[in-house]
């Protein structure tokens, strides 16, 4: 790493101090090396804190960007808002990728957002980051850490075909499967990032355009401009959402109408897709026990899977073993099918997750009507599994 020029470092600190003077809730920290030179910087503004309070259950930490002049690592904390667009929770410049640097950063970030930890944290496969996370975020604080580097597809066949049974890296990778295998993480809310075909990589979304001679001050300005663009897009989305009624191939009645009233336009499309699937699916009632009904719901597409759905007809509590609601935050077509045949014409309040609604940033939407994933009541039915 080239040493940061004194004037450049001083200018950035001066800019952060100016921002701090303008905003009551602005937060920044700097770290100096043994020679008194700037080596690490972190900051977040008041809107980043507000966004984290609302959307911070799912976070992506990315370290793929560098300022070319000093080879500093730019490490933003990024999330997803209710329009399925990127938001920023904070940003840092780091001089190296050592455990100590990441630990300093995570401790500062945690302090900046009041100690609230995300449910799901997506990172790359970096041992230093993993070690720092384990030091700063206790397991009871953070639900899971996902490595976004591979999906578990026919693992046994791959190991056998390529004779990797004794390969140390693959054995270690398998030992960490709970961190990256989506099948093992469906009980944790991840906004559907791993299963979504729509999300861009954070790298592409941020789109830095630093050049070989880009200074730290210039890079700070580039980041602020990107942040301004993201927030302008959110304002446009909010305006469009408040003024528009979504169109649908089906009449907006029943649950579809209810979804159009509560969800943002983007999330309405996700719900609509599940609703369409529910119409073309079939269901069989296989068990009735007191107030509990157990259905087998299957689609007519090529996946050939049937899922068990348990429904409490008195309290409108419903659970599907596909775990889409737990993972993505809105009901799957299996549940919608069962609700429909039981003449439920609105989405039960317990299954409307606030962050996907038009009211995500409004106090008008009572938090009491939102079931937190960790506190959701379980149905007293033994596991019935998934049928092929």
Q: What is the mean pLDDT of residues 108-137?
A: 87
pLDDT, position 354? 93
Query: Domain for residue 164, yes or no?
Result: no
Query: Domain for residue 176, yes or no?
Result: no
The answer to whether residues 255 and 378 belong to one domain is: yes
The residue among 329 and 371 whose pLDDT is bigger is 329
The answer to whether residues 74 and 210 belong to one domain is: yes
The answer to whether residues 21 and 123 belong to one domain is: yes
The share of the chain scoring above pLDDT 70, in percent, equals: 76
Q: Is the pLDDT of residue 165 over 80?
A: yes
The answer to whether residues 265 and 295 belong to one domain is: yes
The answer to whether residues 383 and 277 belong to one domain is: yes
126-153 burial by CB neighbour count: b if 16+ within 10 A, else e? bebbbebbeebbeeeebbbbbbbeeeee
Query: Domain for residue 171, yes or no?
Result: no
Alpha carbon distance, N-terminus to C-terminus of the chain = 55
**Residues 90, 106 contacting (CB under 8 angstroms):** no
Residues 6+ apart with CB under 8 A from 136: 103, 106, 107, 110
**Residues 32, 39 contacting (CB under 8 angstroms):** yes
Query: Domain for residue 151, yes or no?
Result: no
Residue 51 sits in which domain range?
A: 6-143+188-237
Residue 153: pLDDT band (50, 70, 90) is low
The total number of structural domains that make up the chain: 2
Helix %, strand %, coil % for the chain, to 5? 40, 20, 40
The answer to whether residues 259 and 226 belong to one domain is: no
The answer to whether residues 329 and 266 belong to one domain is: yes
The answer to whether residues 225 and 282 belong to one domain is: no
The answer to whether residues 66 and 194 belong to one domain is: yes
Are β-strands 58-61 and 386-387 bridged in parallel, bridged antiparallel, or unpaired? Answer: unpaired
172-181, 226-235, 244-253, 314-323: lowest mean pLDDT where? 172-181
Query: Domain for residue 182, yes or no?
Result: no
The answer to whether residues 91 and 209 belong to one domain is: yes
Give the model confidence (pLDDT) of 48-83 as tens digits: 999 999 999 999 887 877 766 777 888 899 999 999
23-32, 94-103, 298-307: lowest mean pLDDT where? 298-307
Max avg pLDDT among 163-177, 179-193, 240-254: 240-254
Q: Which of 237, 256, 276 is the last residue of a domain?
A: 237
Three-state SS at 90? strand
**Residues 320, 334 contacting (CB under 8 angstroms):** yes
Alpha-helix runs per DSSP H in the chain: 6-22, 46-55, 99-112, 127-136, 155-161, 168-175, 202-206, 216-243, 254-262, 265-280, 324-328, 333-341
**What is the C-alpha separation between 146 and 156, in angstroms, rounded?**
21
pLDDT, position 207? 57
The share of the chain scoring above pLDDT 90, in percent, equals: 42
Q: Is 2 exposed, middle or buried (0-12, 13-18, 19+ CB in 10 A)?
A: exposed
Give the model confidence (pLDDT) of 268-297 as tens digits: 999 999 999 999 899 999 999 988 999 999
- Whole-structure pTM value: 0.79
Query: Domain for residue 213, yes or no?
Result: yes
Q: What is the mean pLDDT of residues 123-130?
A: 80
Q: What is the mean pLDDT of residues 246-255?
A: 90
| Bridge partner list, 121 | 59, 145
The answer to whether residues 218 and 289 belong to one domain is: no
Q: Which of 207, 237, 267 is the last residue of a domain?
A: 237
Query: Domain for residue 158, yes or no?
Result: no
Radius of gyration of the chain (CA): 23
The residue among 89 and 121 whose pLDDT is bigger is 89
Q: Is 199 exposed, middle or buried (0-12, 13-18, 19+ CB in 10 A)?
A: middle
Look over the chain and give the mean of its residue pLDDT values, rounded to a whole number.
Answer: 81
**What is the C-alpha separation between 179 and 145, in angstroms, rounded?**
6
The answer to whether residues 252 and 375 belong to one domain is: yes
pLDDT, position 148? 42
**What is the C-alpha separation between 246 and 234, in angstroms, rounded?**
18
The residue among 257 and 142 whose pLDDT is bigger is 257
Give the model confidence (pLDDT) of 335-373 as tens digits: 999 999 999 999 999 999 999 999 998 864 443 333 333
Query: Domain for residue 174, yes or no?
Result: no
């Amino acid at each position: 790493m080239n040493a940061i020029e004194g004037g450049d470092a001083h200018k950035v600190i001066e800019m952060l101090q100016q921002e701090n003077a303008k905003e009551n809730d602005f937060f920044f920290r700097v770290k100096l090396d043994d020679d008194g030179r700037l080596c690490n910087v972190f900051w977040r503004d008041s809107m980043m804190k507000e966004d984290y309070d609302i959307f911070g259950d799912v976070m992506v930490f990315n370290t793929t960007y560098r300022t070319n002049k000093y080879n500093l690592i730019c490490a933003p904390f990024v999330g997803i808002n209710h329009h399925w667009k990127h938001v920023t929770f904070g940003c840092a410049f780091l001089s190296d990728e050592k455990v100590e640097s990441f630990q300093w950063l995570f401790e500062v970030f945690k302090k900046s957002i009041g100690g609230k930890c995300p449910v799901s944290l997506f990172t790359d496969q970096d041992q230093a980051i993993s070690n720092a996370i384990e030091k700063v975020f206790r397991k009871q604080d953070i639900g899971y850490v996902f490595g976004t580097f591979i999906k578990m597809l026919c693992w046994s066949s791959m190991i056998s075909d390529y004779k990797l049974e004794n390969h140390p890296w693959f054995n270690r990778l398998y030992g960490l499967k709970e961190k990256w295998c989506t099948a093992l993480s469906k009980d944790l809310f991840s906004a559907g990032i791993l299963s979504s075909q729509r999300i861009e990589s954070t790298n592409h979304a941020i789109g830095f355009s630093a050049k070989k001679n880009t200074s730290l001050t210039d890079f700070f300005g580039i980041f602020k401009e990107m942040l301004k663009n993201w927030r302008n897009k959110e304002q446009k989305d909010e305006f469009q959402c408040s003024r528009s009624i979504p169109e649908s191939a089906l009449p907006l009645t029943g649950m579809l109408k209810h979804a159009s009233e509560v969800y943002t336009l983007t999330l309405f499309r996700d719900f609509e897709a599940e609703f369409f699937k529910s119409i073309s699916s079939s269901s069989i009632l296989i068990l009735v026990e007191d107030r509990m009904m157990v259905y087998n719901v299957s689609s007519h597409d090529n996946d050939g899977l049937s899922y068990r759905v348990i429904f409490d007809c008195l309290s409108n509590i419903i659970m599907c073993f596909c775990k889409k609601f737990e993972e993505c935050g809105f009901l799957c077509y299996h549940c919608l099918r069962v609700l429909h045949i039981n003449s439920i014409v609105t989405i039960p309040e317990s299954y409307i997750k606030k962050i996907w609604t038009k009211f995500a940033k409004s106090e008008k939407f009572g938090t009491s009507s939102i079931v937190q994933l960790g506190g959701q009541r379980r149905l007293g039915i033994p596991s019935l599994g998934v049928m092929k």
